[in-house]
Amino acid sequence: MKPVERYEDSELYRLRHSASHIMAQAVMERFPGQAKIAIGPPIEDGFYYDFDLPRPLTPEDLEAIERRMREIIAEDVPFTREAISAGEARRLFADQPYKLELIEGLEQGGTDEHGEPLEEKPEISTYTHGPFADLCRGPHVGRTGQINPAAVKLMNVAGAYWRGDEKRPMLQRIYGTAWQTAKELEEHLARLEEAKKRDHRKLGADLDIFVFDEEVGPGLPLWLPNGAILIEELERLAKEMELKHGYLRVRTPHLSKEALFVHSGHLPYYAESMYPPMELEGVRYYVKPMNCPMHHKIFAARPRSYRDLPLRLAEYGTCYRFEKSGELFGLMRVRSMQMNDAHLYCSEEQFESEFMAVIGLYHEYFKIFGIEKYVMRLSTHHKNGLGKKYVDNERLWLKTEDMVRGAMQRGEVPFVEAADEAAFYGPKIDVEIWSATGREFTLATNQVDFAQPARFELAFTNRDGQEETPLCIHRAPLSTHERMVGFLIEHYAGAFPVWLAPLQAIVIPIADRHLEYARQVAGRLTAAGIRAQADEGSERMNAKIRAAQLKKIPYMLVVGDRESQSGTASLRLRSGEDQGAVPVEEFIARVRREIEARA
């Protein structure tokens, strides 16, 4: 099994962490005695640092800060770590209120820079380079000169609330990026430019896939006909795959009584992410944030035997979550979502084969969509969160985490581990994928639930005639329609493969006298199950071809006198390639093969 290097263990992580400290020094020098520093971690593809400053930063400030960073790098001073007491830390950062708050959290039992509990009370340490010292766990490079000054760039400034709390001060966050070579930086900047062109919010509008409307509400997408086709094709794919893998489809309502979510534990623990209740005939109802409780009720609807297991229940269920307004982002973070959901109920002996079958399903989907880069992350619990963030049963946490870890290792599936990121009811595998532009998406999840089956008193009769509680695997390999379509728009830059394209072919008449033949060809394609239409607009042929290319329609069939007489069409691809005349029946057979193969 090829190990996967965690980003936190990489040289790039250390390099970017050190770059954030160098940037903080440059900012402190630009605002002497006035800058208050908060936190500055490495992030995917870069780093940031949050500052409380006397005025808004300008582009000129960023240029000056970047110049000073290069000078500090050229000084080639060492990064040195020192463990210090809380008292020493308070004296060192006496004029830095955000650092003092961090020190207090570390001293009183251990919270990180985001206010989350740490597993153990940590040692307080600083990292110093030249005149600048920062409260920091590390790691860093050995010397500032190990950073390539030609591979560092400050990107932009944004607002960020201290510790992500909108009731706390708004700070200025400077984003930067750092790489090992100037070539890598150039490639990264080129990817960012390409990503702008592929932004699903822009292409979604250009290609008539979805819209948002203020009167409908934020985070509630309206799917246009082209978007509805994408959804229907994804559902068709999921249903075919799930049928092949032995799933049974169910349907559940959009809302239920409050009692169900109290029973499941979503209330009160998940209440902030749920829409407020509505009261009808003296009973409180909630729209569902998840499908799980209703699937548990389906399992419990009749007695179950070991012969019924594994039981795999699947549904494209619509869920509603009240995401904060500031966190909404196109289709990636919405408030209404249709989830490719399933719950697998199995015995402990069946767990590994069922869990790994789901991992295998991911790989089948990755192949279909051409997803080549991905990482699977085992998200585990944190003992400090037991009874608060997580179900209070350390023994079962350790047992199920070992079960998942062992299954992945025996299946030779590379993965990384992330502590304190589990679901509240059990460990999970989160799947991070990268689009064609290199943008990372958290797309899918495969979760183990040891808590909910017991909570709902789910049981099956085992071979010995005894009642036993099943394990439950939650899985959503195609995520939600919203997130999956958003990813696919960017992954394909809107040029969907033929099987997925909303309009697969358009027939373009050269002149009005060819319109009737164009209609006949489009009709033959439609009758063969190909999404096609004739362009009956008044524009000239070249304008119609250009419009079809902008809409990223895979095939254009141009027809004139010669084509109508010979029963052919002149075939053009959206890339601009002219493939010449082809018999219509031959074209139909070709496209049908591509659709059936999902090529």
pLDDT per residue over 124-135, tens digit each?
Answer: 999 999 999 999
pLDDT in the model for residue 391: 81
- The answer on 564 and 480 residing in a single domain is no
Tell me, what CATH number does 559's domain have? 3.40.50.800
Q: How many residues does the chain have?
A: 599
Residue 512 lies in a domain: yes
Residue 198 lies in a domain: no
Tell me, what CATH number does 75's domain have? 3.30.980.10
The arithmetic mean of pLDDT across residues 447-464, rounded, is 94
List pLDDT tens digits, range 14-26: 999 999 999 999 9
pLDDT in the model for residue 170: 96
> Within 10 A of 245 (CB to CB), how many other CB atoms are there?
16
Residue 2 lies in a domain: no
- The answer on 184 and 209 residing in a single domain is no
The arithmetic mean of pLDDT across residues 408-428, rounded, is 88
> Within 10 A of 33 (CB to CB), how many other CB atoms are there?
7
- The answer on 535 and 473 residing in a single domain is no
**Helix (H/G/I), strand (E/B), else coil: 365:** helix
Asked whether 424 and 386 are in contact (CB, 8 A), the reply is: no
Residue 195 lies in a domain: no
Asked whether 190 and 198 are in contact (CB, 8 A), the reply is: no
> Within 10 A of 355 (CB to CB), how many other CB atoms are there?
24
In which domain, by residue range, is 207 found? Answer: 203-492
CA–CA separation, 471 vs 450, rounded Å?
A: 6
List pLDDT tens digits, range 463-517: 999 999 999 999 999 999 999 999 999 999 999 999 999 999 999 999 999 999 9
- The answer on 331 and 286 residing in a single domain is yes
Q: Among 135, 160, 188, which residue terminates a domain? A: 188
Tokens 């179900």, residue located: 391
List pLDDT tens digits, range 342-389: 999 999 999 999 999 999 999 999 999 998 888 899 999 888 888 878
List pLDDT tens digits, range 43-76: 989 999 999 999 999 999 999 999 999 999 999 9
pLDDT in the model for residue 4: 56
Asked whether 113 and 5 are in contact (CB, 8 A), the reply is: no
Which residues, in sequence order, are bridge partners of residue 249? 314
List pLDDT tens digits, range 575-584: 999 999 999 9
List pLDDT tens digits, range 173-198: 999 999 999 999 999 999 899 888 99
Tell me, what CATH number does 417's domain have? 3.30.930.10
In this structure, what are the phi and psi dihedrals at residue 57, rounded to the nearest 5 degrees?
-75, 150
Q: Quote the DSSP letter at residue 511.
A: S
The arithmetic mean of pLDDT across residues 434-460, rounded, is 87
Closest by CA position to 397, among listed 422, 430, 429, 431? 422
- The answer on 231 and 181 residing in a single domain is no
pLDDT in the model for residue 35: 98
State the total domains in the chain: 3
- The answer on 565 and 432 residing in a single domain is no
Q: Among 188, 212, 239, which residue terminates a domain? A: 188
User: Helix 351-369 crosses helix 394-410 at what angle (to 10 degrees)?
Assistant: 50
CA–CA separation, 106 vs 112, rounded Å?
A: 7
pLDDT in the model for residue 270: 85
pLDDT in the model for residue 435: 78
pLDDT in the model for residue 1: 39
* 80, HSE (Cβ side, Cα atoms, 13 Å): 10
Q: Among 188, 217, 237, which residue terminates a domain? A: 188
Residue 197 lies in a domain: no
Residue 246 lies in a domain: yes
Residue 193 lies in a domain: no
The arithmetic mean of pLDDT across residues 293-318, rounded, is 97
CA–CA separation, 48 vs 55, rounded Å?
A: 18
- The answer on 209 and 182 residing in a single domain is no
Residue 248 lies in a domain: yes
Asked whether residue 2 carries a pLDDT value surpassing 60, the answer given is no
Asked whether residue 3 carries a pLDDT value surpassing 70, the answer given is no
Q: Which residues contact 511 (CB under 8 A, 6 or more apart)?
A: 541, 560
Asked whether 392 and 386 are in contact (CB, 8 A), the reply is: yes
- The answer on 244 and 124 residing in a single domain is no
* Residue 319 vs residue 272, higher pLDDT: 319
Of the ranges 143-147, 418-422, 567-571, which one carries the lowest mean pLDDT score? 418-422
- The answer on 310 and 228 residing in a single domain is yes
- Share of residues in the chain with pLDDT > 90 (%): 81
Averaging pLDDT over each range in 27-36, 111-120, 440-449, which range is the top one? 27-36
For residue 306, the one-letter residue type is: Y
Task: Give counts: helices (H), strands (E), the chain.
Answer: 18, 28
Largest Cα–Cα separation, the chain: 92
CA–CA separation, 547 vs 561, rounded Å?
A: 23
pLDDT in the model for residue 116: 55
Of the ranges 1-5, 96-100, 218-222, 405-409, which one carries the lowest mean pLDDT score? 1-5
Asked whether residue 110 carries a pLDDT value surpassing 60, the answer given is no
CA–CA separation, 485 vs 441, rounded Å?
A: 12
**Helix (H/G/I), strand (E/B), else coil: 378:** strand
CA–CA separation, 139 vs 10, rounded Å?
A: 10
Of the ranges 1-5, 85-89, 525-529, which one carries the lowest mean pLDDT score? 1-5
- The answer on 467 and 540 residing in a single domain is no
pLDDT in the model for residue 111: 55
Q: Quote the DSSP letter at residue 3.
A: P
**Helix (H/G/I), strand (E/B), else coil: 249:** strand
For residue 404, the one-letter residue type is: V
Strands 578-583 and 555-559, by their bridges, are unpaired
- The answer on 215 and 140 residing in a single domain is no
CA–CA separation, 274 vs 287, rounded Å?
A: 8
Asked whether residue 92 carries a pLDDT value surpassing 60, the answer given is yes
Asked whether 533 and 506 are in contact (CB, 8 A), the reply is: yes
- The answer on 80 and 215 residing in a single domain is no
* Residue 158 vs residue 440, higher pLDDT: 158
Which residues, in sequence order, are bridge partners of residue 317? 339
Q: Quote the DSSP letter at residue 79.
A: P
Q: Concatenate the DSSP letters of all residues of 520-554 into one string.
A: HHHHHHHHTT--EEE---SS-HHHHHHHHHHTT-S
List pLDDT tens digits, range 314-348: 999 999 999 988 789 999 999 999 999 999 999 99
